[in-house]
């Protein structure tokens, strides 16, 4: 498959249903090229790279930097000390690279945190821009307060892995996670069974997927979301929502006023009832 066809197919796949794909940025086109390179033998990719395969205008100075995989080291603390329970850390790559096979296996290589020192090590990490996430099994009273590298927060921004191992990552968990519970009802007022209730962070933090929380409603339309970091969120639920669509800011913004604001900065919240947003419009 030529890169141009691969790139166009990727744009169509990553756009929401019924929307015209946006013109991707140069950085997104480069990410698509790297993803494409992981899918094909390197010699084949190089032989098919030409000056007009990414855009309709000449492209010069194109290069592929090939680095060996490295280790990512770090520590996890709970209220400032090593965790006493078994916890795991995994890495998620940003953007189009997530679809490349070499990156899809990262979640399967989640590292077990040493409960004496809090240390973890994830081996064989390829180049890319990553976010450090906690695996399943985190107690519901804990939340991720920050992720730091070199004394600076990378919780929202993520961090880069290049030719060398990056500086250690520090994941800071705190107790006092909030709980949000309520009901989802359809347009007729009946309980919406099996609907997904979603807490979406403020717009300035929507690049951070660790700040999205979901739960399914039960047979009575009731949901309960635990392990929520203190803060202000939008609470929404869509009918027949495409998987992961709530990570897309445009998708959320179209109907954000149909949900409700949830403030759990100080305490948990019950009685957070919302209406199910129809599949098209409101």
**Above 90 in pLDDT, residue 40?**
no
- Containing domain of residue 155, as a range? 70-175
- Mark whether 85 and 135 lie in a shared domain: yes
When mean pLDDT is compared across 28-32, 224-228, 230-234, the lowest value belongs to 28-32
Mean pLDDT along residues 195-203: 96
pLDDT at 9: 52
- Mark whether 247 and 214 lie in a shared domain: yes
| CATH number of the domain within which 118 lies | 2.60.40.10
- Mark whether 74 and 168 lie in a shared domain: yes
Which of 150, 175, 200 terminates a domain? The answer is: 175
Looking at the domain assignment, is residue 28 inside a domain? yes
Report how many domains make up the chain.
Answer: 3
pLDDT in tens, 255-278: 899 999 999 999 999 999 999 998
- Please, are residues 272 and 249 in contact by the beta-carbon 8 Å criterion? no
Mean pLDDT along residues 67-93: 93
- Mark whether 98 and 47 lie in a shared domain: no
Across the chain, mean pLDDT equals 83
Looking at the domain assignment, is residue 208 inside a domain? yes
Mean pLDDT along residues 90-118: 84
Looking at the domain assignment, is residue 281 inside a domain? no
**Above 50 in pLDDT, residue 37?**
no
Q: How far, in Å, CA of 81 to CA of 70, rounded? A: 27
The pairing of strands 169-175 and 70-78 is parallel
- Mark whether 49 and 77 lie in a shared domain: no
pLDDT at 69: 85
- Mark whether 141 and 186 lie in a shared domain: no
- Mark whether 159 and 210 lie in a shared domain: no
- Mark whether 75 and 62 lie in a shared domain: no
pLDDT in tens, 109-124: 889 999 999 999 999 9
- Local confidence band at 87 (pLDDT 50, 70, 90 cut-offs): very high
Of 84-88, 126-130, 222-226, give the range with the top mean pLDDT: 222-226
Q: What is the CA radius of gyration of the chain?
A: 21
Looking at the domain assignment, is residue 282 inside a domain? no
Which of 50, 66, 82 terminates a domain? The answer is: 66
- Mark whether 199 and 270 lie in a shared domain: yes
């Amino acid at each position: 498959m030529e890169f141009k066809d691969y790139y166009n197919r990727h744009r169509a796949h990553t756009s929401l249903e019924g929307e015209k794909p946006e013109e991707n940025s140069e950085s997104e086109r480069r990410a698509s090229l790297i993803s494409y390179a992981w899918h094909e033998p390197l010699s084949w990719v190089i032989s098919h790279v030409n000056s007009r395969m990414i855009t309709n205008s000449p492209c010069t100075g194109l290069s592929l930097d090939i680095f060996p995989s490295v280790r990512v080291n770090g520590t996890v603390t709970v209220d400032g000390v090593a965790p006493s329970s078994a916890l795991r850390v995994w890495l998620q790559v940003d953007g189009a690279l997530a679809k490349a096979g070499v990156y899809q296996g990262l979640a399967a290589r989640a590292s077990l945190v040493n409960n004496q020192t809090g240390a973890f090590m994830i081996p064989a990490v390829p180049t890319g821009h990553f976010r450090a996430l906690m695996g399943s099994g985190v107690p519901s009273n804990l939340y991720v307060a920050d992720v730091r590298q070199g004394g600076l927060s990378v919780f929202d921004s993520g961090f880069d892995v290049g030719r060398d191992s990056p500086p250690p990552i520090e994941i800071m968990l705190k107790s006092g996670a909030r709980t949000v519970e309520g009901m989802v009802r359809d347009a007729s007022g009946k309980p919406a069974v099996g609907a997904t209730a979603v807490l979406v962070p403020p717009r300035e933090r929507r690049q951070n997927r660790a700040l999205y929380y979901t739960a399914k409603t039960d047979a009575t339309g009731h949901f309960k979301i635990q392990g929520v970091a203190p803060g202000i969120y939008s609470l929404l639920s869509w009918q027949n929502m495409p998987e992961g669509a709530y990570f897309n800011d445009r998708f959320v913004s179209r109907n954000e006023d149909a949900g409700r604001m949830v403030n759990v900065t100080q305490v948990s919240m019950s009685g957070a009832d919302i209406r199910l947003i129809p599949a098209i419009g409101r």
